[in-house]
A = this chain, B = another copy of it.
Amino acid sequence: MAKERVTVVDIARAAGVSKSTVSLVLQASPLVNESTRAKVNAVIRELGYVYNRSAANLRQARSKIIGIVVNDLTNSFFAELAVGVDEVVQAAGFVQFLANTSEKLDRQREVIASMREHGVSGLIISPARGTEAADLAPLVAAGIPVVLVVRDIPGAGVSSLTSDNHAGAVAAVRHLVERGHRRVAFLGGFADTAVFEARMRGYGDALGEAGLVVSDDLIIGSAPSRAGGVTAIEQAMMLRERPTAALCFNDAVAFGVCDGLRARRLEPGEDFAVIGFDDVIEAKTAVPALTTVSVDPQGMGERAAELLLKQINSGRVEPEAIVSPVRLAIRQSCGAAVGRRVKEISS
């Protein structure tokens, strides 16, 4: 069944008008008379016509597709970001190509090339580690709007939307210090990323302003995952002078830190204060609820999409670097003023 494709000329013939008129109807043009529009629409429904976007894309340049490439979909931060993007992109009548690079540069190169071939009218990219400005050059040369999210790439000449990592870290550490902590660790994350650098700098600055020295022992990198958090806290607890609190690179690490604490019979939030970063949805409902620097990934996805759409519609526009403010969501996991509760069972 459905051997032959139904095309505009088929409905034109059936409706007794020209294909041009049908095309006008499809584009909801105000030029066509109300009654003919109704008739054409009726025939469209009747014959089960489906619009062929490949043909349309061929004729006109613009394409109603936007691409989104993320470095790790498995991380719920990025999954939420993607649904944020999808939300606004869909509402604008676009459709999203989503690709996952798993932090692999060659994979990223492939998917970007593939998206270009499909004529995406814009790209939202959370770049894989090690992405350079040169990787994006062909895109900007071709005049394709690009919005970088989460990780900025200096000198790429495209818009970016990042969160205020430095301010967030400062706020978190300040809070910890106010609650009496003197030995605060910075746990998790890969040291060679800009995000890590900014958060760690905020951590150091806040410590400094409180007159505390920052000790390299207390900065422990790891994979930015739950498993990484477990190993980081283990390492931290091997220190002679153990920390009593930690700012974690992200929420996944923070959850891992909580796990590791429990494995040592320490209750996060009571025996040790932990603060995360990102505020993924589970942060609110976890036990103890995670105190974290709220970045609102879904909202970030939405804003990135809006920014991209704006650039797409208004032709070419100046690249802008937006850093969105963050706020500290204070919940239970940082509840420990030092010594508030003396743990009976030691070790």
Residues of A within 8 A of B (CB): 1-2, 48, 50-55, 57-58, 63, 65, 73-74, 76, 79-80, 82-83, 86, 90, 95-100, 102, 107, 110-111, 113-119, 138, 141-143, 226-227, 230, 255-256, 258-260, 262-263, 281-282, 285-287
Interface of A is mostly: helix
CB-contact partner of A95 in B2, B50, B95, B97, under 8 A: B97
CB-contact partner of A76 in B58, B76, B82, under 8 A: B76
Q: How many copies does the complex hold?
A: 2
How far is A256 from B113 in the complex, measured between Cα atoms in Å? Answer: 42
Tell me if A138 and B48 are in contact (CB < 8 A): yes
Chain B nearest CB: distance from A302 CB in Å? 13
Chain B nearest CB: distance from A275 CB in Å? 19
Q: A2-B141, A79-B79, A117-B51 are in contact. Are A226 and B282 (CB under 8 A)?
A: yes
Q: Which residues of B contact A287 (CB under 8 A)?
A: 230, 258-260, 262-263
How far is A263 from B76 in the complex, measured between Cα atoms in Å? Answer: 24
Tell me if A73 and B82 are in contact (CB < 8 A): yes
How far is A285 from B119 in the complex, measured between Cα atoms in Å? Answer: 41
Q: A2-B142, A2-B143, A99-B96 are in contact. Are A119 and B53 (CB under 8 A)?
A: yes
Chain B nearest CB: distance from A223 CB in Å? 11
How far is A48 from B137 in the complex, measured between Cα atoms in Å? Answer: 12
Q: List 25 A-B contacts (CB under 8 A).
A: A2-B143, A50-B113, A50-B117, A51-B117, A52-B58, A52-B119, A54-B54, A54-B57, A54-B63, A65-B118, A73-B86, A74-B83, A76-B76, A83-B100, A86-B100, A95-B99, A95-B111, A95-B114, A95-B118, A96-B98, A97-B97, A97-B98, A226-B286, A259-B286, A262-B287
How far is A227 from B282 in the complex, measured between Cα atoms in Å? Answer: 9
Q: Which residues of B contact A82 (CB under 8 A)?
A: 73, 98, 100
Chain B nearest CB: distance from A170 CB in Å? 30
How far is A260 from B95 in the complex, measured between Cα atoms in Å? Answer: 39
Q: Which residue of B lies closest to A113 (CB)?
A: B50
Q: Which residue of B lies closest to A263 (CB)?
A: B287
